[in-house]
């Protein structure tokens, strides 16, 4: 993880939004107003406040924005995308009595 300290929020947002890829980032601040301002202005698809970016739950969707965009996925959605749904209808006189 790369860490950069900023005293001016607008400078931090300009640098973060200047990156080509926009997946997930983290902000460390004791002020909820600061976190909300950065969240609103940041072009990343997700932001963690006061924790590292390795935080993740199975149900949490993961997405990129801009060139890094490749849909929105999480484990349940990925499993569904990988599954092949099949149907079979049987008409059999041997099974009629079951």
Alpha-carbon span 93 to 79, nearest angstrom: 37
DSSP H or E stretch at residue 27: strand 24-27
pTM: 0.58
For the segment 11-26, the average pLDDT, to the nearest whole number, is: 81
The domain defined by 9-82 carries CATH number 3.40.50.970: no
Candidate from 9-18, 28-37, 61-70 with smallest mean pLDDT? 61-70
22 close to 45: Cβ distance less than 8 angstroms:
yes
pLDDT, tens digit, 9 for 90 and up, residues 48-67: 899 887 776 666 666 666 66
Between residues 76 and 10, which one has the greater pLDDT? Answer: 10
Report residue 97 as tokens: 């009595």
Q: Which helix (H) or strand (E) holds 78?
A: helix 75-82
| Between 39 and 20, the higher pLDDT residue | 39
In the chain the first and final C-alpha atoms are separated, in Å, by: 61
pLDDT band at 7 (very low <50, low <70, confident <90, very high): confident
Residue 72's pLDDT band, with cuts at 50, 70 and 90, is low
**Per-residue confidence (pLDDT) for residue 50, from 0 to 100:** 92
């Amino acid at each position: 993880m790369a860490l950069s300290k900023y005293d001016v929020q607008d400078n931090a947002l300009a640098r973060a939004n200047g990156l080509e890829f926009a997946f997930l980032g983290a902000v460390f601040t004791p002020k909820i107003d600061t976190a909300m301002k950065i969240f609103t202005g940041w072009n990343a698809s997700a932001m963690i406040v006061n924790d590292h970016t390795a935080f993740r739950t199975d149900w949490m969707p993961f997405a990129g924005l801009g060139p890094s965009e490749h849909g929105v996925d999480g484990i349940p959605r990925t499993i569904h995308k990988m599954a092949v749904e099949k149907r079979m209808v049987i008409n059999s006189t041997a099974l009629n009595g079951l």
